[in-house]
C-alpha cells in the first residue's frame, strides 16, 4: 500500500518568546532570549535562578470555566492547539471528526496541579483533596481537553518519553496519516513544570546553568556552556493528509516527511561516545521520508547546552553525514527558548515549518568561544538566508531515547 503523505497546515505556539507564531518567529530571527529570572517562586534557595517562563497570561481569557481548573500544561496546549486550528483555516463543521485526532507529548504532565494537590493532602488530610484531582492530573488530561474543545473523536493520547515526548507524538501522528487512518491530527506537546520541586530535581542533578546573566546563560556548543535552562510552553501543529488539505484549498508550510527513533539501552543519562543511537534515528527518519543525506539543508539540533549532550550530538552528526557535516547549518534554538523538555519537539516542528516557508535559519545565540570538540556550522548569533528544501530536527531524552523528524518542501501549496 502506498503511504499517504502528510503536510503541516497550521501552527500554534506559547513560549516566553511569543504567544503567536509570527511574533515568535520574529523574535527568533532577532536573536532574542526568552530567559529571565524566575518570578513564579523564590529562586534564592537554588543554585540556578533563571528559566524561560510564561508571563503573558492572555491565554487565560480563551478558557472556559471548566478549562480553568486544568493544569497549566493543558491550558498551554489548548492555547497552542486553538492557534493551530485558526492558522490552518479549517472549517470544523466540514470535518469528519471521527477521523480527526490529538496526539501530544509531555515529560512531566500536570506537574503544578499534582504538586499543589499533594501539598493540600499533606497539610489538611484526605478531605482537602478535590474529586477533580484524579482526572485533571493524568498525563492524558491535556490531549483529552484539546479533543473536547474541538470535538475530535479519533486517536487521542499523550505520549511521555522524557524530552523526546512530542517528537514521538508527531511520529505517531505521521504514522496514522501514512496508514490512511486519519485525515488530520493536532500534534505537538506542552510542558509546565516550572515548580520548586522540579527545579530542585534538575538543579541537584547538576544540569542547570548557574549563569547569573539570563539572556546570555544558554550557550549551546560554546566552550563555556554550563548547562540547560528549563522552559515551559507549548507547540502544536496541524498534521493533515495531503489530499484532504488540497480538497479544502489549504496552505501547506511543508511536508512532515519522516520519523525515526532508537534507544541506546545503556545508562539513564549516559550516551554512547559515537552517538550511534542518534545516528540510527536520523537514518530512520530520512528513510521514512524518502530522502538522502544530501537532501538535508539544515539541522535543528537538540543542543541543550549541557557539556555531554552537545559534544556527542556533534559527533553523531559528523559520523552520520561524514565530510559534508560541516557544510550543513546546525543551530540550537534552545539558546533562545530554553529547554521545553517534553514540548521541545513540538516547538521545533513549528520552527522547522517556518524555516521551510521563509527560507531563513534562526541562529544559535550566545556562541562566542568555539569548542574544539563542537566544530560544526552552528549559525552563530545571526540568522541566515537560505532556501531550505530538506531539514531534520533532533530530540533526545533520558533513558537513551533518540528521535528525529524530517521535513521537506516537496509538497507545498
Catalytically active residues are 163, 302, 339
Q: 402-412 burial string, b = 16+ CB within 10 Å, else e?
A: bbbbbbbbbbe
**Sheet containing 100-105: which strands, arranged edge to edge?**
156-159, 100-105, 184-191, 233-241, 6-14, 254-263, 401-408, 390-397, 298-300, 330-331
In the DSSP assignment, the letter for residue 5 is P
Rounded to the nearest 10 degrees, the angle between the axes of helix 72-88 and helix 141-150 is: 40
Cβ–Cβ under 8 Å, residues 209 and 202: no
Q: How many CA atoms lie within 13 A of 47 on its CB side?
A: 16
Q: Which three cell numbers stand for residue 359?
A: 527560507
Cβ–Cβ under 8 Å, residues 103 and 169: yes
Contacts of 61 (CB under 8 A, 6+ apart): none
In the DSSP assignment, the letter for residue 179 is T
Report the C-alpha gap between 31 and 14 in whole angstroms.
17
In the DSSP assignment, the letter for residue 139 is T
Cell numbers 507549548: residue: 234
User: DSSP string covering 42-108, please?
Assistant: --TTSS--EEB-----GGGGG--TTGGGS-HHHHHHHHHHHHHHHHHT--GGGS-GGGEEEEEE-SS
Q: Name the burial class of residue 230, with classes exposed (0-12), middle (13-18) and buried (19+) by CB atoms within 10 angstroms of its CB.
A: buried
Cβ–Cβ under 8 Å, residues 298 and 391: yes
* Alpha-carbon separation of residue 413 from 178, 258, 365 (angstroms): 19, 19, 32
Cβ–Cβ under 8 Å, residues 402 and 411: no
Phi and psi angles of residue 306, each rounded to the nearest 5 degrees, phi first: -85, 150
CA-derived radius of gyration, the chain: 20
User: DSSP string covering 277-292, please?
Assistant: HHHHHHHHHHHHHT--
Cell numbers 484531582: residue: 133
Amino acid at each position: 500500500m502506498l503511504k499517504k503523505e502528510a503536510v503541516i497546515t497550521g501552527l500554534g505556539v506559547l513560549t516566553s518568546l511569543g504567544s503567536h507564531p509570527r511574533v515568535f518567529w520574529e523574535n527568533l530571527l532577532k536573536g532574542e532570549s526568552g530567559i529571565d529570572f524566575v518570578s513564579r517562586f523564590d529562586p534564592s534557595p537554588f543554585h540556578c535562578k533563571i528559566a524561560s517562563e510564561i508571563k503573558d497570561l492572555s491565554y487565560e481569557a480563551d478558557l472556559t470555566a471548566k478549562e480553568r481548573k486544568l493544569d497549566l500544561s493543558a491550558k498551554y496546549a489548548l492555547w497552542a492547539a486553538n492557534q493551530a486550528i485558526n492558522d490552518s483555516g479549517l472549517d470544523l463543521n466540514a470535518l469528519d471528526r471521527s477521523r480527526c485526532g490529538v496526539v501530544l507529548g509531555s515529560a512531566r504532565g500536570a506537574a503544578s496541579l499534582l504538586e499543589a494537590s499533594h501539598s493540600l493532602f499533606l497539610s489538611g488530610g484526605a478531605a482537602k483533596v478535590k474529586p477533580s484531582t484524579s482526572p485533571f492530573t493524568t498525563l492524558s488530561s491535556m490531549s483529552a481537553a484539546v479533543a473536547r474543545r474541538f470535538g475530535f473523536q479519533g486517536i487521542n493520547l499523550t505520549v511521555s518519553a522524557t524530552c523526546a515526548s512530542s517528537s514521538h507524538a508527531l511520529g505517531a501522528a505521521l504514522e496514522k496519516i501514512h496508514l490512511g487512518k486519519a485525515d488530520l491530527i493536532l500534534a505537538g506537546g506542552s510542558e509546565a513544570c516550572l515548580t520548586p520541586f522540579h527545579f530542585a530535581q534538575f538543579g541537584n542533578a547538576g544540569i542547570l546553568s548557574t549563569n547569573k546573566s539570563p539572556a546570555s546563560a544558554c550557550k549551546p556548543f560554546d566552550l563555556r556552556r554550563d548547562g540547560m535552562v528549563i522552559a515551559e510552553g507549548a507547540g502544536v501543529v496541524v498534521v493533515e493528509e495531503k489530499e484532504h488539505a488540497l480538497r479544502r484549498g489549504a496552505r501547506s508550510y511543508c511536508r512532515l516527511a519522516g520519523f525515526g527513533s532508537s534507544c541506546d539501552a545503556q545508562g539513564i543519562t549516559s550516551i554512547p561516545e559515537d552517538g550511534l543511537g542518534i545516528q540510527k534515528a536520523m537514518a530512520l527518519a530520512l528513510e521514512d521520508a524518502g530522502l538522502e543525506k544530501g537532501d538535508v539543508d539544515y539541522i535543528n539540533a537538540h543542543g541543550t547546552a549541557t557539556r555531554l549532550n552537545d559534544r556527542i550530538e556533534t559527533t553523531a552528526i559528523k559520523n552520520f553525514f561524514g565530510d559534508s557535516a560541516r557544510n550543513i547549518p546546525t543551530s540550537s534554538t534552545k539558546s533562545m527558548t530554553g529547554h521545553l523538555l517534553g514540548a521541545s519537539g513540538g516547538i521545533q516542528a513549528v520552527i522547522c515549518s517556518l524555516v521551510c516557508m521563509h527560507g531563513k535559519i534562526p541562529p544559535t545565540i550566545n556562541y562566542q568561544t568555539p569548542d574544539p570538540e563542537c566544530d560544526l556550522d552552528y549559525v552563530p548569533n545571526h540568522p541566515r538566508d537560505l532556501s531550505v528544501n530538506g531539514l531534520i530536527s533532533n530530540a533526545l531524552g533520558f533513558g537513551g531515547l533518540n528521535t528525529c523528524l524530517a521535513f521537506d518542501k516537496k509538497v507545498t501549496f
